Structure 1
Amino acid sequence: MTRLRLFLTLCLLATLSALAQNQTVNGLKQGPWKVTYEGSSMLRYEGTFDKGIPVGTFTHYHPNGTKRAIMVFRGKTQSCYTQEFALNGTLLAEGRYGAPGVKDSTWRIYDLNGKLLNTETYQGGSLNGPYATYYPNGKTVESGAMQDGEKTGLWTRFGENGEKTRSVEYVLGQLQGTWTEFDENGRIALRGTYENNMKEGRWLSFENGKPVHGIWYHKGVVTKEMDY
């Protein structure tokens, strides 16, 4: 009899627990929810709603059952810190959403081995601010700033050992300003100017820090060439 009562009690608790989930009030999701993939018993996500707004921690899953994302919401603002994972559980990205689907602030992007690939800065869902890419050894490949999703200002490129190899100026994705390349000793190897994405004026090649050859351009077309 005792075992029967225990069994019935457990069944009742399970039923009450199930009834307490996936509730709606006035058409809005309310309280804890667990949602499975269509036609499957595999969990797709679980979390808590307050009058239709996600609050607290939400966990999303891949169809194979591994975590796809963890989203920690800030109050009822719908702003959340998010971590996104590959099928094998490796962290692929982490950053903040200021609103549903709208990236904000700094995001870090990783490869399938967990190595940092990019750091990106968003404002209102668009790339705005510092941006950098990285070698597998953690050294910076290239760094600069983005404006409305386009390169802008000074961008610097580096070798795998951290040495500077190139600096370039952009205006909204177009080459505009000085282009400089450096040799293995950090000395200038090539310098010239871009205007509206085309070479313009004198471009100088250097050896051991001294100019050895010059080429003049107008709207990308060579107009003159000479040795020094």
Structure 2
Amino acid sequence: MRSLIYLVTRWLSRFKPLNALAEQLLGKGEPGFRGNFKDGKEEGPWEFYHANGQLEFRGNYHNGQRHGPWEMFHDNGQLKVRGNSRHGRPDGEFERYDEVGRLFERLHYRDGTVDGPYEKFHENGQLAEHGHYREGRPEGLWYFYYTSGQMKKRGRFVDRRRVGVWEFFDESGKLQEQRSFTADDTGAIY
């Protein structure tokens, strides 16, 4: 979390552009944040720290906005999110991890919007679902799996809605049901 000192520094830099290294130390001498200002805006590598001294965020800024690769961490030090930003907007592959370091989601952004392949994982590491996003909406074929890795269901999305024939399977992989959906069915899924 950005500290009050950081926010005051940003506010003061509006009146006189700041060009300096900024650093705040926590009670035991651990850093709260560290980075450079150029013309009153964050520039270059920045780091923010949790109250316990563990790294919270590491990444680059350009003209006051996240730009390039960055990482966020849980307060236990485990990686939380790895991503990329372009001019302050998410862009490229993002990976999200739980507090014990397990990957639970991989997705792609284009200019701030989810767009591209998507994968979600069960706690045991098995694939839970995968499909494709287009402009923030699930689109095309999607597959969903049990924790065993066995197919749970599959079907097609168009404009966030299930369309066509969807197939539903039991945990042994046996087809249990086929259900048809039309584009005018009410109720978006995602």
More strand by share: 1
- 1: CA distance, partners of 2:19 / 2:62: 17
Aligned residues: 176
Q: Relative to 1, partners in 2 of residues 1:168 and 1:32: Cα closer, same or farther, differing over 3 Å?
A: same
Q: What runs of 5+ residues in structure 2 fail to find an aligned partner?
A: 1-9
2:112 paired with 1:125 = yes
**1:34 is aligned with what amino acid?**
E
* Aligned positions of 1:52-201 closer than 5 A: 52-73=40-61, 78-100=66-88, 102-183=89-170, 186-196=173-183, 198=185
Q: Relative to 1, partners in 2 of residues 1:162 and 1:197: Cα closer, same or farther, differing over 3 Å?
A: farther
Structure of larger gyration radius: 1
Residue 117 of structure 2 contacts residue 131 of structure 2 at CA under 8 Å; is this kept in 1?
A: yes
**2:141 is aligned with what amino acid?**
L
Shift of 1:98: 1.1
- 2: CA distance, partners of 1:51 / 1:74: 11
Q: Give the aligned CA root-mean-square deviation in angstroms.
A: 3.3
Q: What runs of 5+ residues in structure 1 fail to find an aligned partner?
A: 1-21, 200-228
TM-score of the aligned structures, taking structure 2 as reference length:
0.77
Partner SS state of residue 28, structure 1: coil
Name the structure, 1 or 2, with higher relative contact order (CA <8 Å, separation 6+). 2
Residue 73 of structure 1 contacts residue 81 of structure 1 at CA under 8 Å; is this kept in 2?
A: no
**2:21 is aligned with what amino acid?**
P
Shift of 1:183: 4.6
Partner SS state of residue 47, structure 1: strand
* Aligned positions of 1:42-57 closer than 5 A: 43-57=31-45
